[in-house]
Amino acid sequence: MQSIVFFDSGVGGLTVLKDAMRILPNESYVYYSDGENNPYGIKSSDEIKLLVTDAVKFITDAVDLKALVLACNTATSVVVHELRQNYEFPIIGMEPAVKPAAELCDKSRILVCATERTLREEKLERLISGLMIQDRITKLSLQGLVSYAESGIFYDDSVMNYLNEKFKNFEWDKYTAVVLGCTHFIYFKEQISFLIPDEVKVLDGNWGTVQRLKQLIVENKEVGATALKFYESKNPRSLNTIKPYLDYLEI
Ligand code: DGL
């Protein structure tokens, strides 16, 4: 059976895999984390391009692929276009939920949170200018959350202090939405919602990515065939390595 491969620099993409397993329960999945090279967000585009193309080359040799989900906003920003030119199988990337955020209200501000690299890439700029909402956008790097997620620290005081510090100067009454443009940040959705007013919606691109995946593949209807394998930077690993995350996400 062909597999759907989820790729991320680390554990962030598991938050997307979780939705995929719920919506497409009869597929065979491979989760590939480039844990040895995490975090991507502080690296140059060239470095990320090399790492991702090399990993995808490994994946195509090791796995019979049905589709590849780049469950990483940073990798998507830098290299999705190039990968699509080189491979025949469907490649689905992440898109920060800026459009749904803009549709919530036509005036108020939108806070786009992502990694350092994603915030600097042209792809995000094009998305924002295509919607003609440049003057409503504030960008904020929450790169520190990537390390917290990799260490399995989700509810610690240090996380809340980090977020409080990042959010302290915002006039929230001017905002309608916070967009989480990094898959690692999804682990902190509840914590972020707790720190900001209820009226400000916290949005992410996970659902959209899984819907796109569903459109592009022929679904397996054989009930109960779900399978999951895990690789870390080219090494097959036991699922026990990511068990705390799978438990946290209730996979
Ligand atoms: N999970 C990633 C993203 O969505 C990458 C985080 C990182 O490695 O810095 O951007």
Q: Quote the Cα angle for 189-47-131, to 5°.
A: 50
182: annotated active-site residue: yes
Q: What is residue 221's predicted lDDT score, i.e. its pLDDT?
A: 85
Strand order in the sheet with 65-70: 91-92, 65-70, 3-8, 28-33, 227-232, 235-237
Å from CA of 41 to ligand 1 middle: 6
Å from CA of 184 to ligand 1 middle: 6
Q: What is residue 224's predicted lDDT score, i.e. its pLDDT?
A: 75
Q: What is residue 222's predicted lDDT score, i.e. its pLDDT?
A: 81
Closest ligand 1 atom to 181 CA = 4
Closest ligand 1 atom to 40 CA = 8
Catalytically annotated residue among 5, 16, 65, 72: 72
Q: How far apart are CA 190 and CA 243, in angstroms?
A: 21
Q: How far apart are CA 211 and CA 234, in angstroms?
A: 28
Q: What is residue 225's predicted lDDT score, i.e. its pLDDT?
A: 65
Q: How far apart are CA 163 and CA 111, in angstroms?
A: 14
38 CB within 6 A, ligand 1: yes
The answer to whether 28 touches 222, Cβ cutoff 8 Å, is no
Q: Which amino acid is at 222?
A: E
Å from CA of 224 to ligand 1 middle: 31
Q: What is residue 1's predicted lDDT score, i.e. its pLDDT?
A: 85
Q: What is residue 226's predicted lDDT score, i.e. its pLDDT?
A: 77
Å from CA of 42 to ligand 1 middle: 9
pLDDT, block means (10 residues), the chain with 251 residues: 96 97 95 98 98 98 97 98 98 97 92 98 98 97 98 96 97 97 98 97 97 96 84 97 93 83
Q: What is residue 246's predicted lDDT score, i.e. its pLDDT?
A: 93
Residue of 148, 182, 185 with the most ligand 1 atoms within 8 Å of its CB, for mutation = 182
Residue of 9, 37, 52, 147 with the most ligand 1 atoms within 8 Å of its CB, for mutation = 9
The count of other CB atoms within 10 Å of the CB of residue 71 is 30
230 CB within 6 A, ligand 1: no
